[in-house]
Amino acid sequence: MSEQVQSLKSLTLFCKVVDNYGDIGICWRLARQLEREHHINVHLWVDDLHSFQRICPDVQLNTDTQNVHGVTVHHWLDQNGTFASEDVSDIVIEFFACDIPPAYIQAMAQRQPRAVWLNLEGLSAEAWVEGCHTLPSPHGSLPLTKYFFFPGFNSKTGGLLIESELEQQRQQFVSDPATIAEFLSDLGLSENEINALKISVFCYPHAPATDLFEAWKNNATPITCLVPEGVATEAVQAFTGQPAAAGSVTTIGALTIRVLPFVPQPDYDKLLWACDLNFVRGEDSFVRAQWAGKPFVWHIYPQDENLHHVKLNAFLQCYGVNTDKLAAMMLAWNGVTPLPIQWETVWHALAADMPRMADLALQWQQQLIANGDMTSNLLKFAHTVHQQSVNNEQK
């Protein structure tokens, strides 16, 4: 462990699951990286163990407190509970402004030295994020200050979650065709499916997936579409005419749709690496698609008054120049483009641009790596806040 974070040895992370797998996906990656790479004693409070278990099968559903891969996991049942100051960690993180138990906050106010309290915010490329990153927010009645910490796409933000060994693992995987084929074969793919253009689809239920399936079935070359069980269920069933259960496979025209079982996080990364194009959603899979170094289409989490359209356009502006074909697909996929949409035209334009999109994806990946990883950046900031607090108490 680096000298600058030795004084911060414990961390509590509160997570309320709103976006099914995205919220817990991010928090679990963060918790695991803190424990494995920085040797932090992590307590993860999460309210939805069912969603957690889908991405980490080792999670037990009927256990209030359990150790999962070195992380102490607490089932966050309600806002009640009794906490003492010794229950409070050195760092306390509320993910995406979730309300942590009032008794825990009271215990934070009794703790000496004060815990570093962070609100880990959602990811956005909007310019205002840079000005709000690390801003303090004093508590209204207690001697506590919370700080906003924003992930982001440049050095003026906290960067993105990435494990130290991930890029090496990715390069080893993509450089070995036999390993890729074995991984896909283990998921049930036939040789023909493996040799086709492979597209993973992870989207929200309102995505126009059926329209895209119709375009893909008329493609000049075979397409294998890989959809996790429980995702785009109605669209898959409407197109294939059969239940969208894990293991089901249907070929219509050039398109083969295979429904995959939900896989643990490490295997999802491999799926992204193995595919030629990835449709992803929310934040967690969106970030992993960027680390995959492959072309991707983002389905952003919907917000009232179409505020998500602003976020989508902000990302497209920072992602890179000459992305009009990719932008056209993302805007159509997210319902920004006025109807009717000529899906075959949008698809063929993107397909023809895929080699250049692949190069751009790798360039973008290197740009992100230069910003440092979010977990290390977060710990460095927490140390700075902690040191300032210690200095103030000594005056």
pLDDT score at 4? 44
pLDDT score at 39? 97
Give pLDDT < 50 ranges for the chain.
Answer: 1-5
Strands 249-252, 145-149: pairing is unpaired
Percent of residues in the chain assigned helix, strand, coil, to nearest 5: 45, 20, 35
pLDDT score at 289? 98
CA dist 35 and 28 (Å) reads: 11
Tens digit of pLDDT for each residue in 134-181?
999 999 999 999 999 999 999 999 999 999 999 999 999 999 999 999
Strands 91-95, 41-46: pairing is unpaired
pLDDT score at 141? 96
Tens digit of pLDDT for each residue in 243-260?
999 999 999 999 999 999
**Model pTM greater than 0.75?**
yes
350 contacts 286 by C-beta, under 8 angstroms: no
**Ordered structural domains, the chain, with CATH:** 3-160+371-394 (3.40.50), 166-369 (3.40.50.2000)
162 contacts 269 by C-beta, under 8 angstroms: no
Cis, bond preceding 102 (omega within 30 deg of 0): no
pLDDT score at 395? 58
Return the closest-CA partner of residue 376 out of 124, 38, 93. Answer: 38
| Tokens standing for residue 372 | 């440092």
∠ CA 58-67-165, rounded to 5° = 70
**Relative orientation angle of helices 324-333 and 307-319, to the nearest 10 degrees:** 160
pLDDT score at 322? 66
Residues contacting residue 157 through CB under 8 Å, at least 6 positions apart: 129, 130, 133, 150, 151, 371
13 contacts 27 by C-beta, under 8 angstroms: yes
Q: Which residues are catalytic?
A: 23, 283
pLDDT score at 36? 97
Q: What is the mean pLDDT of the chain?
A: 94
pLDDT score at 370? 95
Sign of CA dihedral 155, 158, 164, 166: negative
pLDDT score at 2? 44
**What's the order of all strands across the beta sheet hosting 255-260?**
249-252, 255-260, 223-228, 197-201, 277-281, 296-299
262 contacts 228 by C-beta, under 8 angstroms: yes
Strands 255-260, 249-252: pairing is antiparallel
Q: Give the DSSP letter of residue 43.
A: E
pLDDT score at 1? 41
pLDDT score at 3? 44
Distance of CA 8 to the CA centre of its chain: 26
